[in-house]
Amino acid sequence: MFAITTSRPRMIRGRLSDWRLLCVLLPGMLQVGVAWSEPSVPGSDAQVLAELPVGARHQSTPARELTRTRLELALPLAQFYVSRSRATGDLRYLGYAEAMLQPWMRQSSVPPAVLVLDATILQSRHAFDAALGLLDRALQLQPDNAQAWLTRATVLRVLGRYDEAMASCARLALQADASITVLCTQSLRGLTGHLPAAYAALVSMPQQGLAAEARAWRYSELGEMAERQGDDQAAEHWFREGLQLAPEDFYMRAACADLLLRQRRAAETLQLLAGFESMEPMLLRIVVAQQLLGDGRSARDRAMLTAAFDVEQQRGEAVHRREQARFLLDVEQQPEAALAAAQENWRVQREPDDVLILLRTAQAAHRPQAALPALLFMQQARLEDVRLEPYRQELR
């Protein structure tokens, strides 16, 4: 029946009344899932359909050919795309970066720098195991590649494999700047039973000569550590300092938004995230804030998030599974579905926020058993985080 009604909606349009047209089109819209509206012809030639972001212009074939043959062009371009993706949350940039690297990745001996950058892309896509594979390949070719050790430490940390991450930080000490090594190791100590000491070490860390990226990283770690220790005031201070220095660091911005939301400071959250609506993680926090304020605008944003998560699911990707779990829990109030998403997320990554969402959803769904992996993980790693305590108490 559907095939008939949806196959030629336009042909019969002229003969159907509006409501009946809706009946005919609705199944089609539901099928495709994410369409907002029905295709139509814009009213005017001047209507702008898309504003092209930096670096999203058509490249002529000769220009593309150059990047296939000259690594000194391909690599910086790919790096540029990765940094744009980081700054804007725009996943398409990762694809452009991948396209730059693809011809080089197909060669019999891939340059280590290409392997490391491709690993960074995979990491951004939350394909952590594949990223580790490439990093190990790069390190076999070039054991003193500091970037590879650092990226490796980061990936292992996200996976909750703290001992291995620590070993990578140690290798870093031989090549890199001492301050980077301090950040690498202290941030791990902060997750493995030495939180106050690690926090103190980072607070007193000398900042002279520190690169901007390292300074931003320090602020971000300090903010998260303060929050895990229950010092929200200090945490906010570090986050705000850090965001002044690195306004495009959206991990830090999201963390700061979460801090504000936990204190139910919805209006300030909206202020913090204004202009960042295009990033799914930010949009989620905006919707949560709007709900706290009883703001009716959230309906459209909710629909948009649902659609974006659906598409991701259809693609079989898990980039925003943690956000999806939180969306289902806090916005849609579907604890069962939220728990399922949190469990799926747990299979991919194990940051403190991943522990938090698994505990929260397990509690909301009245399935304490489901929280067990996260509770075990906390115990084994000796993870300290005051945000987790109430759930830990209750779920025990």
Partner 1 sequence: MRIAAALALMLLLSPVARAHVASNGFLVVQVHGQQLNGSIELAVRDVELAIGVDANRDGKVTWGELRAGAPRLMQYVAQHLSIGAQGSSCAISFQTLEVNERVDGNYAWLPFTARCPRSVQQLSIRYRLMDDIDPSHRGLLTLTDGATAQTAVLGGNGAPALFRVDAPSRWRAFVEYLQAGIWHIWSGIDHLLFLLSLLLPAVLLRRNGHWEPVPRVRPAFFSILKVVTAFTLAHSITLSLAALDVVRLPSRLTESVIAASIIVAALNNIFPLVTESRARIAFAFGLLHGFGFASVLADMGLPQGARLLSLLAFNLGIETGQLAVVLTVMPIVYALRSGAAYRRAIMPWGSAVIAAVALVWLVQRALFPTG
Q: Which of positions 263-282 make contact with partner 1 (CB under 8 A)? A: 277-280
16 secondary structure, DSSP code: S
Query: In the set 293, 307, 340, 348, which binds partner 1 (CB under 8 A)?
Result: 307
- Residue type at position 73: L
Q: How many residues bind partner 1 (CB under 8 A)?
A: 75
Which residue lies nearer to partner 1 by CB, 278 or 379?
278
From 41-49, 179-187, 220-228, 333-341, give the range in contact with partner 1 by CB under 8 A. Answer: 41-49
Query: In the set 42, 206, 209, 294, which binds partner 1 (CB under 8 A)?
Result: 42
57 is an interface residue for partner 1 by CB under 8 A = yes
As measured in angstroms, the least distance from the Cβ of 315 to partner 1 is 6
What x-and-dash track marks residues 69-98 binding partner 1 by CB under 8 A?
Answer: -------------------xxxxx-xxx-x
Query: Backbone phi, then psi, for 108, in 5-degree steps?
Result: -70, -40
CA-based R_g, the chain, Å: 23
Output the furthest CA–CA distance in the chain (Å, rounded). Answer: 76
Tokens at 31, concatenated: 């099928």
Q: Kindly identify the residues of this chain, within the stretch 333-372, that bind partner 1 according to CB under 8 A.
A: none
As measured in angstroms, the least distance from the Cβ of 334 to partner 1 is 20
As measured in angstroms, the least distance from the Cβ of 388 to partner 1 is 29
As measured in angstroms, the least distance from the Cβ of 297 to partner 1 is 7
Residue-wise DSSP of 189-227: HTTTT-HHHHHHHHHT---TT--HHHHHHHHHHHHHHHH
Query: In the set 41, 72, 107, 108, which binds partner 1 (CB under 8 A)?
Result: 41
Signed CA dihedral, 376, 382, 387, 393: sign only: positive
277 secondary structure, DSSP code: T
Say how far apart CA 124 and CA 319 lie, in whole Å.
Answer: 8
Which residue lies nearer to partner 1 by CB, 5 or 175?
5
Which residue lies nearer to partner 1 by CB, 54 or 372?
54
Which residue lies nearer to partner 1 by CB, 35 or 174?
35
As measured in angstroms, the least distance from the Cβ of 13 to partner 1 is 7
Q: Which residues contact 311 (CB under 8 A, 6 or more apart)?
A: 33, 34
Q: Kindly identify the residues of this chain, within the stretch 316-335, that bind partner 1 according to CB under 8 A.
A: 316-317, 319
73 touches 66 (CB < 8 A): yes
369 secondary structure, DSSP code: G
Q: Kindly identify the residues of this chain, within the stretch 242-261, that bind partner 1 according to CB under 8 A.
A: none
Query: In the set 13, 70, 347, 366, which binds partner 1 (CB under 8 A)?
Result: 13
48 is an interface residue for partner 1 by CB under 8 A = yes
The residue with tokens 């493995």 is 192
Say how far apart CA 208 and CA 395 lie, in whole Å.
Answer: 45
Q: Which residues contact 4 (CB under 8 A, 6 or more apart)?
A: none
Which residue lies nearer to partner 1 by CB, 20 or 264?
20
As measured in angstroms, the least distance from the Cβ of 177 to partner 1 is 33
Tokens at 376, concatenated: 């075990």
Say how far apart CA 28 and CA 79 lie, in whole Å.
Answer: 41
As measured in angstroms, the least distance from the Cβ of 42 to partner 1 is 4
15 is an interface residue for partner 1 by CB under 8 A = yes
As measured in angstroms, the least distance from the Cβ of 288 to partner 1 is 15
Signed CA dihedral, 288, 349, 160, 178: sign only: negative
68-95 core/surface letters (b: 16 or more CB in 10 A; e: else): eeebeebbebbebbbebbbebbbbebbe
Q: Kindly identify the residues of this chain, within the stretch 107-146, that bind partner 1 according to CB under 8 A.
A: 125
From 13-21, 71-79, 138-146, 387-395, give the range in contact with partner 1 by CB under 8 A. Answer: 13-21
Nearest Cα residue to 355 out of 337, 335, 381: 381
As measured in angstroms, the least distance from the Cβ of 101 to partner 1 is 9
As measured in angstroms, the least distance from the Cβ of 41 to partner 1 is 5
